[in-house]
């Protein structure tokens, strides 16, 4: 069966360090993958999209990699700040279907000052 896995344990890091979050998937043929940020009591906010033929995407302090061989995406936040504390969701859209994204359950990131 299809699965998207994100680490359910919160990631605790110190301010200024690089946070790395992981999204693993099985039995998907992804067309593209998206990362969203969600704060408590709010809807997800789109951050980055990476397509299956792209290895890496960057936006300011954010970087996403996509390895379709390993079936994994890594999401990096460099020079992390306490304001980056939130839950981060990955979402996969598959080719050959409706492309409706399937979301992982998210990983909570806590950046300590």
Partner 1 sequence: KAGVTQTPRYLIKTRGQQVTLSCSPISGHRSVSWYQQTPGQGLQFLFEYFSETQRNKGNFPGRFSGRQFSNSRSEMNVSTLELGDSALYLCASSRTSAQETQYFGPGTRLLVL
Helix (H) or strand (E) holding 3: strand 3-6
User: What sign has the CA pseudo-torsion 34, 80, 26, 1?
Assistant: negative
Q: Looking at 5, 22, 28, 49, which residue binds partner 1 (CB under 8 A)?
A: 49
**If binding means CB under 8 A, how many residues of this protein chain bind partner 1?**
21
**Of the listed pieces 21-29, 58-66, 71-79, 85-93, which binds partner 1 according to CB under 8 A?**
85-93
Q: Looking at 1, 53, 69, 98, which residue binds partner 1 (CB under 8 A)?
A: 98
d(CA 85, CA 67): 26
Q: Looking at 3, 55, 105, 112, which residue binds partner 1 (CB under 8 A)?
A: 105
**Contact at 8 Å (CB) between 89 and 35?**
yes
CA 15, chain centre distance (Å): 19
Task: Give yes or no for residue 90 binding partner 1 (CB under 8 A).
Answer: no
Task: Give yes or no for residue 51 binding partner 1 (CB under 8 A).
Answer: no
């Amino acid at each position: 069966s299809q699965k998207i896995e994100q680490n359910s344990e919160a990631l605790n890091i110190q301010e200024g360090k690089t946070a790395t979050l992981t999204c693993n998937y099985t039995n998907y043929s992804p067309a593209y993958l998206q990362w969203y940020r969600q704060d408590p009591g709010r809807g997800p906010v789109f951050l980055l999209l990476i397509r299956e033929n792209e290895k890496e995407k960057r936006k300011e302090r954010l970087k996403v990699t996509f390895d379709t061989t390993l079936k994994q995406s890594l999401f990096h936040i460099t020079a992390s700040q306490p304001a980056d504390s939130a839950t981060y969701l990955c979402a996969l859209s598959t080719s050959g279907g409706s492309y409706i994204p399937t979301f992982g359950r998210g990983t909570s990131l806590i950046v300590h000052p």
